[in-house]
């Protein structure tokens, strides 16, 4: 996924946890235009809140999108993108192209 995002023009910062995401975003040459989080083990709500904490700690505007890629979901959700807050989204991707299309809508490169 990282390679796909870079290939279409996104600057990607990879972090394994909230603390390193904040450190890397603050230490970067360019502020992130979006926070993209892969859901693993915790609830979607916990990841949305994590994205909000990262956004605030880095000093990003409140309209900076947060996108959580859902980990497990039923067939009824597959292929859907759901807006769950003012600028927070959960994607239930059918394929990588769906995710890329959502990112292009939220933050064109």
The pLDDT of residue 37: 93
Q: What are the residue ranges spanned by the domains of the chain?
A: 2-106
The pLDDT of residue 92: 96
Q: Mapped to the 3 state alphabet, what secondary structure does the chain carry?
A: CHHHHHHCCCCCCCCCCHHHHHHHHHHCCCCCCCEEEECCCCCHHHHHHHHHHHHHHHCCCCCCCEEEECCCCCCCCCCEEEECCCCEEEEECCCHHHHHHHHHHHCCC
The pLDDT of residue 96: 86
The pLDDT of residue 68: 95
**pLDDT tens digit at each of 109 positions of the chain:** 788 888 888 888 888 899 999 998 888 778 888 999 999 889 999 999 999 999 999 999 999 999 999 988 999 999 999 999 999 999 999 998 898 999 999 998 7
CATH 3.40.50 correct for 2-106: yes
């Amino acid at each position: 996924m990282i390679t796909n995002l870079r290939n279409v023009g996104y600057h990607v910062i990879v972090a394994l946890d909230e603390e390193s995401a904040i450190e890397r975003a603050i230490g970067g040459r360019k502020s992130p235009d979006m926070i993209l989080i892969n859901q693993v083990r915790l609830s979607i709500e916990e990841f949305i809140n994590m994205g909000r904490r990262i956004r605030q700690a880095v000093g990003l505007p409140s309209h900076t999108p947060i996108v959580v890629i859902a980990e497990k979901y039923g067939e009824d959700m597959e292929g859907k993108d759901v807006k769950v807050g003012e600028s927070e989204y959960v994607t239930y991707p059918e394929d990588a192209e769906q995710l890329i299309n959502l990112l292009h809508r939220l933050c064109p490169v």
